Amino acid sequence: MKVPVSIRGLSKKFGSFEALRDINLDIAPGEFVTLLGPSGSGKTTLLQVLAGFVTPTSGSILVAGEELLTRPPHQREIGLVFQNYALFPHMNVFENVAYPLKLRRLARSEIETKVRGALDMVRLSQFIDRSVDKLSGGQKQRVALARAIVFEPRILLMDESLSALDKKLREQMQIELRHLHERLHTTTVFVTHDQREALTMSDRIAVINNGALIQFDTPRAIYERPRTRFVADFVGETTFLPVELRAGGGASVFGTPLLLPDHAGVGGASPHESWLALRPEKLAIGPVAGPEAEVNSFSAVARETIFQGDSLLVIAGFPDGQNIAVRLVPQEANRGLVPTPGQPIHINVHRNDSILVSGDV
């Protein structure tokens, strides 16, 4: 089922603590949206408000144009997948998945068919009679997922649902979830603190910090055009260099005029301060300043090289003492580029990879 979800002016206060501050979020029908933020940012509170377990202080949530907040949790038709699975320990796999259908008083044969269908979808049909404590973490997660989708909910909510799994399994489940979403197209809200997970899975990512929505964009835009220092810092590794904004509209770093991308412009309306955000993989090391008029080039001194298997991290220092990381692919062609400690180098970045962000969080 595809429904749009529209969150309007949602706020939640716990005493004097503002867990959510005036959240406005429009989720398109069938969209996969990730709420991304550090722990305590309010992303889980927002999910709990959607699920109906936390009552907001003010605001409104419209699902297909109808107010959600006045409905009790059990009438919201929302599928929920927990971090710790929350499978009923006194029921086996079939009983767990059948439970939502039993509550809806479906015929026995229909329950059977739907449960099998849902378990097929998560590739667990052979475990239908298994008791849940004999399943592995990944299998439990799939059963929880099957239980959440079997009754064709209007919205699917997932609360850090993959974070209990180990890395390999988690990455595999991310892809599977993505495929499942492509088949079902249920409007999905996924909560995570893992930026890579958010980038991998989402149609759009809502970055949340201190209870406020900071940026709501596609994964690519979030990564390549973060609006604030917080977003750039939270999503990906970043080195920030202080930018002096000039009266004429230009900008400079360490006194050198800065070439800016075509879409240049700092996210905030009138930032008090702004920063140049540089990603290690967007940087190149050159013996001389880049030849083109398209490249910003900074002088630095190589400090150390860290071997990370699939990449080489070169740490260099600027004259003001700040460090910057440059990621090199450890392939034969780059061998000559790896500097020795103490060697003066030029760090080059294309102007389109030179991101200006505002200092506000």
Partner 1 sequence: MIGAIAAASSGSADTSYFARAERREAWSFALLAVPGLVVIGLLLIVPVGWLFVLSFIGKDGGVSLENYARLAQPVYVITFVTTFQIAGIVTVGSILLGYPVAYLLSQLSPRAAAICMIFVILPFWTSVLVRTYAWLVLLQRRGLINSWLVGLGIINEPIPLVNNFIGTTIGMLHVLLPFMILPLYSSMKTIDTDYLKAASSCGASPMRAFWDVFFPLSRPGLFAGTVLVFILSLGFYLTPALLGGGRVSMWSMQIATNVSTYSNWGAASALGVLLLVVTIAILAALNKVFRVDKLYGGR
CB 94 within 8 A of CB 70: no
CB atoms under 10 Å from CB of 44, counted, come to: 20
Q: Which of 17, 24, 29, 89 binds partner 1 (CB under 8 A)?
A: 89
100 binds partner 1, rule: CB under 8 A: yes
Residue 114 vs 282, nearer CB to partner 1: 114
The alpha carbon of 44 is separated from its chain's Cα centroid by a whole number of angstroms, namely 13
Binding mask 118-137 for partner 1 (x = CB under 8 A): -------------x-x----
Please say whether the dihedral angle defined by the alpha carbons of residues 62, 65, 70 and 71, taken in this order, is positive or negative: negative
Q: Identify the CA nearest to 354 among candidates 269, 257, 287.
A: 257
Binding mask 44-73 for partner 1 (x = CB under 8 A): -------xxx------------------xx
273 binds partner 1, rule: CB under 8 A: no
| Residue whose entry in the numeric block shows the structure tokens 């059990």 | 74
147 binds partner 1, rule: CB under 8 A: yes
Q: Which of 1, 28, 86, 245 binds partner 1 (CB under 8 A)?
A: 86
Q: Which of 74, 167, 263, 272 binds partner 1 (CB under 8 A)?
A: 74
Determine the interface stretch with partner 1 among 5-13, 86-94, 187-195, 338-346 (rule: CB under 8 A).
Answer: 86-94
Query: Dihedral, CA atoms, 202, 203, 206, 207, nearest 10 degrees?
Result: 50
Question: Nearest distance from residue 197's CB to partner 1, in Å?
Answer: 21
Phi, psi of 351 (to 5 degrees): -65, -30
Question: Nearest distance from residue 92's CB to partner 1, in Å?
Answer: 9
Structure token pair of residue 183: 């088949």
148 binds partner 1, rule: CB under 8 A: yes
Question: Nearest distance from residue 99's CB to partner 1, in Å?
Answer: 5
Buried b / exposed e over 308-338, threshold 16 CB at 10 Å, is eeeebebbbebeeeeebbbbbeeeeeeeebe
Residue 61 vs 87, nearer CB to partner 1: 87
117 binds partner 1, rule: CB under 8 A: no
Residue 86 vs 169, nearer CB to partner 1: 86
Determine the interface stretch with partner 1 among 96-104, 188-196, 255-263, 346-354 (rule: CB under 8 A).
Answer: 96-104
Look at phi and psi of residue 270 and say left if phi exceeds 0, alpha if psi is from -120 to 50, else beta: beta
CA distance 336 to 284: 13
Cα diameter, the chain = 76
103 binds partner 1, rule: CB under 8 A: yes
Give 148's contacts (C-beta < 8 A, 6+ positions apart): 79, 80, 81, 156
Question: Nearest distance from residue 75's CB to partner 1, in Å?
Answer: 8
151 binds partner 1, rule: CB under 8 A: yes
Give 350's contacts (C-beta < 8 A, 6+ positions apart): 282, 294, 295, 296
Which residues lie near partner 1 (CB under 8 A)?
51-53, 72-80, 82, 84, 86-90, 99-100, 103-104, 131, 133, 147-148, 151, 157
